[in-house]
Amino acid sequence: MKLFKALVPLKKHLDQQNLTSLGLVPTMGALHDGHLALVRKAVEENEKVVVTIFVNPTQFDDQKDLDAYPKTLEDDLEKLACFGEKIAVYAPEVEDLYPKEAVSEHYDFGELETTMEGGSRKGHFQGVATIVQKLLKGFMPTRAYFGEKDYQQLAIIHALVQQKELPIEIVDCPIVREKDGLAMSSRNRRLNEKQRAIAPQIYSLLTQVVEKKHTHSIEEINRWVTAFFEQQAEFELDYFCIADARSLQPLRDKNTTQNARAFIAVKMGEIRLIDNVKF
């Protein structure tokens, strides 16, 4: 495993190998088993894999959230060491990807970016698309791997690749969960002991939502979720939504689509957690 801090020498390193396939796993570091599952799949399906570790400033709408995001490069490298020469790690400084100024480009993703996360985090997906485009065009991998926990982000990336006509396969990877059901996230390590103990209630609620689809309307489910969080002092509900899995637009009638998901975002103090399940 080799670590590169700059794009140019890494591209030269890759070009020298005459690769038949290249996988890309973009991350913001603070790696957990969910990230490692992406890397394992990429290693299985490609001759070489680039794992990027970069906390992208343009996708944060809150400077405090950016400052608090965990940065654990040494620990991340230890976790990746088991993959040996199959991977290369790209962990640049901001200036390597944003040589002039760290600002987002402009994209039109329509309603994909105005709902859910888009409504709560202004400019977030413009920043996501900017950095993903930089990485995809920089490496031109055969395949790039993203987790379904950030499902709306995944939809944006599919739209980006289509709009820019990039010949790259975007591979959707299932959510990896802790034994108690909590979706793995780098933000989980910021939870205190009490918060971590009750955080699995988020997934528990989603499983109950899926059970209720047989006996309750979407309006009734929405009211039930709202009432649940009104009684929970440790949680602040940002949004809950049952939406079409392709358009991401909220559904009013559960019979209007066979491909729906339930999405949720919850704040626990200053920490914001998201999750989703098939509905």
Give the C-alpha separation, 277 to 116, whole Å: 15
SS3 (DSSP) at 270? coil
List 13, 35, 106, 214, catalytic entry: 35
**Cα separation of the two ends of the chain:** 40
| Residue 143: predicted pLDDT | 98
pTM of the model: 0.95
| pLDDT score of 246 | 93
**Domains of the chain (ranges, CATH numbers):** 2-173 (3.40.50.620), 186-278 (3.30.1300.10)
What does 17-48 look like in DSSP terms, one character per residue? TT-S-EEEEEE-S---HHHHHHHHHHHHH-SE
Q: What pLDDT was estimated at residue 256?
A: 79
Tens-level pLDDT at each residue, the chain (279 residues): 999 999 999 999 999 999 999 999 999 999 999 999 999 999 999 999 999 999 999 999 888 889 988 899 999 999 999 999 999 999 999 999 999 999 999 999 999 999 999 988 889 999 999 999 999 999 999 999 999 999 999 999 999 999 999 999 999 999 999 999 999 999 999 999 999 999 999 999 999 999 999 999 999 999 999 999 999 999 999 999 999 999 999 999 887 778 999 999 999 999 999 999 999
Q: Whole-angstrom Cα distance, residue 205 to residue 225? A: 8
Any catalytic annotation for residue 35?
A: yes
CA 211 to mean position of chain CA atoms:
26
